[in-house]
């Protein structure tokens, strides 16, 4: 039931910098914790996240276990033309996820 | 008066067992310097241009708000290519690496990180023309009271 | 152990504040970054649960007898939550005539699911139950807490007040000693809050997850090395009622962020 929340404005003006926020539900198990029996709980994190805008790279993040649970990122994008903001992220389980949001640039 | 008090026998047992589990090893400043050297190679690392924004007194090490910003463009020959963040005393010193692309607005990212203990956090930024800039913040991490 | 409890209590109460102290939400004790996390719905991890709660509000859960989905979703009976649930969480826990006892929000959600939807109750402290109570609680955000300890709830309110002042555990400390007597002072680096339960369920940084008031109470009682009252027990609900009355007038902050 892992959710992801993306905050992307619906419309922006050309040349404007707009803020994008990403919040993904994930325990980001560091691989440092021990369970009740003393055994290490294995590492299980989202290790990569990227954001592209009409196919052009905005940001690529390599995440390590020191990124908090339910990882949050916010950053800025330069508004050029209408299209989509795409997010893609990969985790230790081999999972690959993505989400696309439309954006109107006027 | 024993009847008036409630004794947590279950927790005592669990605590006894947990007390025997070893604490995770911590990275050392030397290890972090070696990592930075590996990153920086023969280049000169200078203080400045990159700003690491972290609270000096951390309420809870599980989620520490961090903003890293580089005073450099994201396009052009002197653009910021990447920023690395290290935590000197975490079990694993790598925290995050950011790479900026041509559609980035500015070289600034906010996130939340885990810090195992009071320590120094270091950010290293690399530009396309080979410059290397760093910033460091020394902070105190307090532990929460009343755990489960 | 009693000696240590007394030493601790003495140290905390050494410079006890004046008798009448203004009510202060835990929000006011937060550092600026944690406050910013609570203030921004796009950065508050609790909204991952709120989103799930909204989906649960609209969907018909499977029946407990396995005979397909329930006849109604929450929405089917109540309508849109922002209208139907506005103010509800601000009045909890409250006396319930049908049950003949004080009930909190989670117990009401459980009862609805079991009796009206004939669905299996949600696992306590499970993501779905936290999600629903966060979503419902959100509809009271900004409203002042306004529970009632009058009439049939009076006995429960009185029990809660008595428990709040009772010493528990190996440390032999009462809630009042820390949260009335030593609020604003520090215990091993952490600021002692007044302990108002005005933001539950909360995203607690220490848990790295959402949790209910019952979970936090368990932490408190374990903190003084006492056997915690089980969630939903008469004592736990009485304490929850007392806390709500004690916090009367403070704004609901659900879903709050706390360290």
Q: How many residues can be counted in chain B?
A: 148
Query: Would you call B147 and C225 a contact, using CB atoms and an 8 Å cutoff?
Result: no
- Rg from Cα positions in chain C: 19
A18 contact B CB<8A: yes
Confidence of residue C51 (pLDDT cuts 50, 70, 90): very high
Evaluate whether A29 touches A42 at the Cβ level (below 8 Å): yes
Mutate to test the interface with A, among C43, C128, C259 (most CBs of A within 10 A): C43
Confidence of residue A51 (pLDDT cuts 50, 70, 90): very high
C187 contact B CB<8A: yes
Q: How many domains does chain C have?
A: 1
Task: Name the residue among C74, C109, C139, C111 with its Cα closest to residue C212.
Answer: C109
Domain span at C118: 1-13+23-64+72-259
User: Chain A: nearest CA to B25, how far in angstroms?
Assistant: 9
Query: Would you call C51 and A3 a contact, using CB atoms and an 8 Å cutoff?
Result: yes
Segment B55-70 shows an average pLDDT of: 94
Evaluate whether C258 touches C198 at the Cβ level (below 8 Å): no
Domain span at A82: 4-34+43-105
Segment A74-103 shows an average pLDDT of: 96
Q: How far apart are CA B72 and CA B81, in angstroms?
A: 10
Question: How much is the mean pLDDT over chain C?
Answer: 92
Give the CATH number, domain containing residue C52: 1.10.760.10
Query: Would you call B106 and A76 a contact, using CB atoms and an 8 Å cutoff?
Result: yes
Q: Which residues on chain C are in Cβ contact (under 8 Å) with B7? A: 169-170, 225-227
Domain ranges of chain B: 24-141
Query: Would you call A38 and B20 a contact, using CB atoms and an 8 Å cutoff?
Result: yes
**What angle in degrees, to the nearest 10, is found between the helix axes of C46-58 and C127-138?**
90
Q: pLDDT over 70 for what percent of chain A?
A: 99
Chain A neighbours among B 33-92 (CB < 8 Å)?
Answer: 62-64, 87, 90-92
Does domain B24-141 bear CATH number 2.60.40.2470?
A: yes
Domain contains C193: yes
In eight-state DSSP terms, residue B87 is E
Evaluate whether C226 touches C170 at the Cβ level (below 8 Å): yes
Is the confidence metric ipTM above 0.85 for this complex?
yes
pLDDT of C39-50, one tens digit each?
999 999 999 999
Q: Which of A1, A7, A70 lies at the smallest CB-CB distance from C45?
A: A70
- Does the annotation mark C220 as catalytic? yes
Hey, what are B47's tokens? 């203080």
The pair phi, psi for residue A76, each rounded to 5°, is -115, 145
Q: Which residues on chain A are in Cβ contact (under 8 Å) with B87? A: 66
Give the CATH number, domain containing residue A99: 2.60.40.10
Evaluate whether C68 touches C85 at the Cβ level (below 8 Å): no
User: Chain A: nearest CA to B46, how far in angstroms?
Assistant: 23
Domain contains C125: yes
Query: Would you call C227 and B8 a contact, using CB atoms and an 8 Å cutoff?
Result: yes
Burial (CB < 10 A; 0-12, 13-18, 19+), residue C229, is buried
Q: How many domains does chain A have?
A: 1
A67 strand-pairing partners: B113
Q: Tell me the pTM.
A: 0.89
Domain contains C18: no
Residue C87 has pLDDT above 80, yes or no: yes
Q: How far apart are CA C5 and CA C172, in angstroms?
A: 6
C233 contact B CB<8A: no
Domain contains C48: yes
C214 contact B CB<8A: no
C-alpha count within 13 angstroms, C-beta hemisphere, residue B33? 3
Confidence of residue B37 (pLDDT cuts 50, 70, 90): confident
């Amino acid at each position: 039931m892992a959710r992801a929340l993306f905050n992307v404005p619906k419309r922006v003006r050309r040349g404007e910098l707009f803020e994008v926020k990403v919040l993904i539900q994930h325990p980001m198990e560091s691989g440092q914790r021990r369970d009740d029996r003393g055994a290490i709980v294995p590492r299980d994190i989202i290790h990569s996240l990227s954001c592209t805008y009409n196919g052009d790279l905005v940001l690529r993040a390599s995440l390590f276990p020191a990124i908090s649970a339910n990882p949050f990122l916010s950053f800025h994008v330069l508004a050029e033309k209408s299209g989509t903001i795409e997010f893609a992220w990969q985790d230790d389980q081999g999972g690959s996820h993505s989400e696309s949001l439309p954006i109107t640039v006027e | 008066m024993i009847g008036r008090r409630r004794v947590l026998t279950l927790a005592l047992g669990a605590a006894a067992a947990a007390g025997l589990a070893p604490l995770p090893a911590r990275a050392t400043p030397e290890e972090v310097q070696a990592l930075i050297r590996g990153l920086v190679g023969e280049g000169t690392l200078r203080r400045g241009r990159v700003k690491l924004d972290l609270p000096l007194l951390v309420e809870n090490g599980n989620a520490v708000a961090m903003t890293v910003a580089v005073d450099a463009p994201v396009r052009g020959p002197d653009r910021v290519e990447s920023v690395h963040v290290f935590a000197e005393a975490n079990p694993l010193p790598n925290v995050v690496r950011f790479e900026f692309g041509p559609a980035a607005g500015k070289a600034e990212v906010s996130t939340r990180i885990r810090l195992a203990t009071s320590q120094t956090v270091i950010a290293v930024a690399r530009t396309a023309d080979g410059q290397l800039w760093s910033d460091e913040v020394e902070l105190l991490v307090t532990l929460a009271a009343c755990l489960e | 152990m009693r000696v240590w409890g007394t030493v601790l209590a003495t140290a905390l109460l050494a410079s006890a504040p004046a008798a009448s102290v203004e009510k202060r939400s835990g929000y006011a004790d937060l550092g600026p970054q944690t406050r910013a996390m609570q203030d921004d719905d796009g950065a508050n991890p609790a909204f991952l649960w709120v989103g799930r709660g909204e989906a649960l509000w609209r969907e018909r859960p499977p029946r407990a007898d396995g005979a397909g989905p329930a006849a109604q979703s929450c929405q089917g009976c109540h309508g849109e939550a922002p209208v139907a649930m506005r103010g509800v969480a601000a009045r909890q826990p409250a006396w319930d005539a049908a049950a003949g006892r004080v009930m909190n929000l989670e117990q009401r959600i459980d009862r609805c699911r079991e009796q009206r939807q004939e669905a299996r109750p949600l696992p306590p402290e499970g993501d779905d139950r936290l999600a629903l109570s966060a979503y419902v609680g959100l509809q009271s955000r900004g409203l002042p807490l306004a529970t009632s300890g009058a009439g049939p709830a009076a006995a429960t309110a009185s029990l809660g007040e008595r428990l709040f002042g009772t010493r528990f555990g190996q440390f032999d400390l009462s809630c009042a000693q820390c949260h009335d007597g030593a609020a604003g002072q520090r215990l091993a680096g952490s600021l002692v809050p007044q302990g108002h339960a005005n933001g539950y369920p909360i995203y607690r940084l220490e848990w790295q997850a959402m949790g209910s008031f019952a979970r936090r109470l368990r932490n408190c009682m374990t903190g003084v090395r006492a056997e915690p009252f089980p969630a939903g027990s008469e004592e736990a609900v009485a304490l929850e009622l007392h806390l709500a009355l004690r916090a009367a007038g403070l704004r609901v902050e659900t879903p709050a962020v706390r360290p």
